[in-house]
Amino acid sequence: MTELKAGLKGTAAWTVTENMSARVCRSGSLDVFATPMLVALMECAACDAVKDALPEGSTSVGTEMDAKHTAASPVGAEVCAEAVLTAVEGRKLSFDITACEGEKVIGTAKHERFIVDAARFMAKLAK
């Protein structure tokens, strides 16, 4: 198992489909990569950064996202995100994330996640 410490990196890469467009997601009217999908891509990269370092039975849940979507990407574009774990404070994980389409930066974010016991978390929701 990887040690959970600052410096861990994770990535996510997607091809933008029509289902990821602002028009389909209802976050706008154009067939461009939707901001909610950009946030999901960024969270995916953060999860990837820590997936091999979390304790058995644990996962992480997103609690805060301060994202900027700075450039549009058309349907068919290849987009990717890289997340860097910048701090571990108890169960709180902090990340810096950059998303790109090729060499073009399309977004940046500061993101926080918390480590939770997956079974206990879901049991609490069932009550």
18 in active site? no
3-state secondary structure of 91: coil
**31, 22 Cβ separation under 8 angstroms:** yes
Catalytic residue among 2, 17, 43, 63: 43
15 in active site? no
Catalytic residue among 69, 82, 111, 112: 69
Catalytic residue among 35, 86, 98, 108: 35
First and final C-alpha spacing in the chain: 33
Nearest Cα neighbor of 83 from 103, 57, 54, 110 is 110
Where in the sequence numbering do the catalytic residues fall?
35, 43, 69
